[in-house]
A = this chain, B = another copy of it.
Amino acid sequence: MGIAQADIGDEEMRRQYREAGFGGRVGWGERPALLVIDMAGAWVDPGEQLGSDLRTVLESILQLLNVARATQVPVFFTTMAFASPAEVGGVVSRKLTCLNAMLIGSERVELDPLLRRRPEEPLLVKPRASAFFATNLLSTLLSHRVDTVVVTGCSTSGCIRATCEAAFDNNLHVIVPAEAVGDRNAHAHSANLFDIDARYADVMPLEEVLTHLKGRAR
């Protein structure tokens, strides 16, 4: 059973989903990649409109980055940014007014420097919650013959869930290390982690993910 199912919902909810045929364990494929979603100023700085305290999430991601870089697992980062508010789009800019300030070149769309992104690790600038929408992510993953994505970053109830769903839709294996995803709101975090585990990804303890990555022969 996934960590999300152990953490949230009551026993009745977990039983209902199990009997309905959700939440099967998919496990790992052969070639993983690590996705680090939106760990940029706008989200990791608690003084920002969208920001919250994501220090423990960042710490977990740094552990994953260490292992990924040591074992040649490809790493991809994302941020959200637009050339101008007009390019957000009419509907999107009215629903998510926060996006109108996410301008290319501003500090708030820059990755947290602690991530120490390397030149060979692509930074994808995405316009929507899913890292796959209107980006080259899927084709780049296929270029590396990746069949498994480890999804980390923020926010669980937005970009993490959307990215997991899009990867799953394409029959990629999706792994979420529970401690490596975060959200500004604890209720939204746990409710969405439950859904993610039931529908799109295997949610696992960070330790289990680290152990698997270290143990891979490549």
Contacts and interface: CB of A to CB of B under 8 A. Distances in A.
A96 interface: yes
B147 A147 contact: no
Contacts of A170: 138-139, 142
A142 to B, nearest CB: 5
A159 to B, nearest CB: 10
Interface string A1-45: 000000001000100110111111111011000000000000000
Given A83-B123, A128-B169, A169-B128, A20 B139 contact: no
List 5 tightest A-B contacts by C-beta distance, closest first.
A21-B98, A191-B191, A89-B143, A143-B171, A134-B136
Interface residues on A, range: 35 or more
Contacts of A91: 26, 143, 168, 171-174
Contacts of A26: 91, 94-95
A154 to B, nearest CB: 12
B187 A188 contact: no
**Copies of this chain, count:** 4
Interface in A137-179: 138-140, 142-145, 147, 157-158, 162, 165, 168-174
Interface stretch (A63-71, A192-200, A208-216): A192-200
A171 B92 contact: yes
B90 A143 contact: yes
Given A25-B94, A158-B199, 18 more contacts: A13-B187, A16-B185, A21-B96, A22-B98, A83-B122, A83-B123, A84-B120, A87-B136, A89-B143, A95-B199, A95-B201, A127-B136, A134-B135, A139-B169, A142-B147, A142-B171, A187-B191, A188-B191
B89 A119 contact: no
A130 B170 CA distance: 12
